[in-house]
Chains A and B, each alone.
Chain A
Amino acid sequence: MSESRCMSNEVERLKEIAKKIRKHVLMMFMEAGSGHPGGSLSVVETLTTLYFHKMRHNPNDPEWSKRDRFVLSKGHAAPTLYATLAESGYFPVEELRSLRKLGSRLQGHPDMRRLPGIEISTGSLGLGFSVAVGMALAGKIDAEDYRVFALLGDGETQEGQIWEAAMAASHYRLDNITAILDRNGLQLDGPTERIMSIEPIAAKWLAFRWHVLETDGSEIGEIMKALNEADNIKGKPTIIIAHDVKGRGVPFMEWNADFHGKVPDKESLSKALQELG
């Protein structure tokens, strides 16, 4: 089979998984009645590609010391991480319905002490990325070859700590960390460029001496290629700026800042689920 046929088969396989994950996410919001749908939907393709194609990990051994690590620095996208972990086999898919309910292992933001597969508790923006840098540093100390992936929000880069961590990753030459920036253009109060402009964002990361790649965040093939390219960059970390659509996959939520932290009514969600097929 030709390489491009292999690639397109793989992309099709991942698209099917992404569709399942997107449906899980919508179902979870229907059950929970609260959460952050916009920024959860925009990262479905990225998480699918990471867990089902790129990362070395074992759902039956979440503590495996040689595993690749994933840090959801934009912790409010927890539902997508949960759905991805469930589909991977870290816990039963049925448990997804318990999102945000009292006593649930699926807390509103990821809790590493309750749920297997969560590398670090996140939720307060700007914090997870430094932790990812610490994990990558541990990898270098121990001469392990695991990789650390960190998913950041674009609004999140308004936090100064992100740049402290970026500076450190470059200073320590951490080529074993790959960051992905969910560039969906919106934050809670509106467009990032109106609230506190982060552009030129690619130039900023270049200035911090990172290798910078840009992709379409909805194109699995592009994400795959970018992740592979990052593996080959030595002596500096890589960031993939994934241009995304907040609320992707559900037309009435796309590009809509209202759905950063507000969940649509059950009827609209039900309709959206039907439309996904």
Chain B
Amino acid sequence: MRFKESRSTRDAYGEVLVELGKKNENIVVLDADTSSATRTKLFAEAFPERFFNVGIAEQNLIGIAAGLATCGKIPFASSFPVFVPGRCVDQIRNTVAYPRLNVKIVVTHSGLTFGVDGATHQSIEDIAIMRAIPNMMVVVPADAVEAKKAIRSIVEYKGPVYVRLCRQSTPIVYDEDYLYTLGKGITLTDGDDAAVIACGVMVAEALLAAEKLRAKGISVTVIDMHTVKPIDEDLIVKAARKTGAVVTAEDHNVIGGLGGAVSEILVENHPVPMRRVGVNDVFGESGETEELMVKYGLTADHIAEKVKDLIMRRG
């Protein structure tokens, strides 16, 4: 399998913000001194009067965004997930989620794949944190095309949303014209032997794994579960009924993220043997993205191994 091209979801974010900013003058963008990295800089250049870089002050970032939302603005607040939500869970919970304010929190540089900056910057717990906050929608787009669709969708949605993007260029999985709906997972390949439910950068890896497994006579359903909350329960149960074996994959701790969310649904509705691919509850380290993925178990090969493991046990 060769993906057509690679782009970074953060570049897509920067571009789509400008596109949306032209159409809707209520959109305002805030950043906490990461604007060059998150690409909110593009919006800052296009609409300087609607952009606020609050400096290295994430708690204030969220509070100001909330205040703007109470006055009819649609604020996008951006940083890296180690800092947002890392530094400001209280603010997100009490000032945004509890009163259900229309604040869109979009972070880039998520996960272990952040790479060379090392463990202090590699957030592997943010999906778990944000998932557990009521009223908070959690979206993890798979590629640059989906990232744009997700951002366009969340402008229409009224309420708090958390969107998790990454730093590096990732393979483009989607054509421009596919149908994207918040809350509805997407079945990318159809197979009977196992289901791989992935989000974010691991969707491309899941597709690679499916291809490797097909060569070995194992057919796999791959699902892009871009909306981790509210999760597409029906699709998960359907996949479990059809295949009898589920593997989840995410650039996140195996505790509490997509793996946790899928487990919760399966155990209550249709328990099947399951394996989680992700970071095994350890901190990362400095390294190139590709090397880290190999060392910490985040590749297509790791996904394929877990699928084979489940099928063998099934006998």
Q: How far is the CA of A227 from the CA of B67 in the complex (A)?
A: 22
Besides the known contacts A134-B71, A165-B64, 19 further A-B residue pairs in the complex with CB atoms under 8 A apart: A65-B72, A111-B99, A112-B70, A113-B100, A121-B95, A124-B94, A130-B60, A134-B64, A134-B67, A134-B69, A135-B68, A135-B71, A138-B67, A138-B70, A142-B71, A164-B54, A165-B63, A167-B57, A168-B54
Given contacts A121-B99, A124-B94, contact A133 B70 (CB under 8 A): no
Q: Are the CB atoms of A133 and B60 closer together than 8 Å?
A: yes
Question: In the complex, which residues 11-35 of chain A have their Cβ closer than 8 Å to any Cβ of chain B?
Answer: none
Residues of B within 8 A of A86 (CB): none
Chain B positions within 8 Å of A, measured between CB atoms, are 28, 49-50, 52, 54-55, 57, 59-60, 62-73, 90-91, 94-95, 98-100
Classify the interface of chain B: helix, strand, loop or mixed.
helix
Given contacts A113-B99, A127-B90, contact A132 B57 (CB under 8 A): no
A129 touches B (CB below 8 Å):
yes
The smallest beta-carbon distance between A256 and chain B, in angstroms, is 28
Q: How far is the CA of A135 from the CA of B101 in the complex (A)?
A: 13
Q: How far is the CA of A122 from the CA of B90 in the complex (A)?
A: 11
Residues of B within 8 A of A160 (CB): 59
Residues of A within 8 A of B68 (CB): 134-135, 137-138
The 6 lowest CB-CB distance pairs between A and B, nearest first, are A134-B67, A130-B63, A138-B71, A164-B60, A134-B64, A164-B57
A139 touches B (CB below 8 Å):
yes
Interface residues as binary, A118-151 with B (CB distance below 8 Å gives 1, 0 otherwise): 0111111011111111111111011000000000
Q: How far is the CA of A49 from the CA of B100 in the complex (A)?
A: 31
Classify the interface of chain A: helix, strand, loop or mixed.
helix
Q: Are the CB atoms of B67 and A130 closer together than 8 Å?
A: yes
Q: How far is the CA of A168 from the CA of B66 in the complex (A)?
A: 15
Q: How far is the CA of A26 from the CA of B42 in the complex (A)?
A: 54
Residues of A within 8 A of B100 (CB): 113
Question: In the complex, which residues 81-133 of chain A have their Cβ closer than 8 Å to any Cβ of chain B?
Answer: 111-113, 119-124, 126-133
Residues of A within 8 A of B69 (CB): 134
Given contacts A124-B90, A142-B71, contact A168 B64 (CB under 8 A): yes
Q: Are the CB atoms of B73 and A131 closer together than 8 Å?
A: no
Question: In the complex, which residues 153-182 of chain A have their Cβ closer than 8 Å to any Cβ of chain B?
Answer: 160-161, 164-165, 167-168, 172
Q: Are the CB atoms of A120 and B66 closer together than 8 Å?
A: yes
Q: How far is the CA of A138 from the CA of B74 in the complex (A)?
A: 11
The smallest beta-carbon distance between B231 and chain A, in angstroms, is 25
Q: Are the CB atoms of A161 and B60 closer together than 8 Å?
A: yes
Q: Indicate which residue in A134, A139, A141, A164 contacts B65 across the interface (CB closer than 8 Å).
A: A134
The smallest beta-carbon distance between A140 and chain B, in angstroms, is 10
Identity of the chain B residue whose Cβ is nearest the Cβ of A144 in the assembled complex: B71
Residues of B within 8 A of A126 (CB): 59
Residues of B within 8 A of A131 (CB): 63-64, 66-67, 70, 95
Q: How far is the CA of A61 from the CA of B62 in the complex (A)?
A: 27
The smallest beta-carbon distance between B258 and chain A, in angstroms, is 29
Residues of B within 8 A of A134 (CB): 63-71
Q: How far is the CA of A15 from the CA of B254 in the complex (A)?
A: 61
Q: How far is the CA of A168 from the CA of B68 in the complex (A)?
A: 14
Residues of B within 8 A of A136 (CB): 67
The smallest beta-carbon distance between A120 and chain B, in angstroms, is 6
Residues of A within 8 A of B55 (CB): 167-168
Q: Are the CB atoms of B57 and A168 closer together than 8 Å?
A: yes
Identity of the chain B residue whose Cβ is nearest the Cβ of A166 in the assembled complex: B60
Q: List 26 A-B contacts (CB under 8 A).
A: A65-B72, A120-B67, A120-B70, A127-B91, A128-B95, A129-B63, A130-B63, A130-B66, A130-B67, A131-B63, A131-B67, A134-B65, A134-B67, A134-B68, A134-B70, A135-B68, A135-B70, A135-B71, A136-B67, A138-B67, A138-B73, A139-B71, A141-B73, A161-B57, A165-B63, A167-B55
The smallest beta-carbon distance between B68 and chain A, in angstroms, is 5
Residues of A within 8 A of B64 (CB): 130-131, 133-134, 137, 165, 168
Q: Are the CB atoms of B63 and A127 closer together than 8 Å?
A: yes
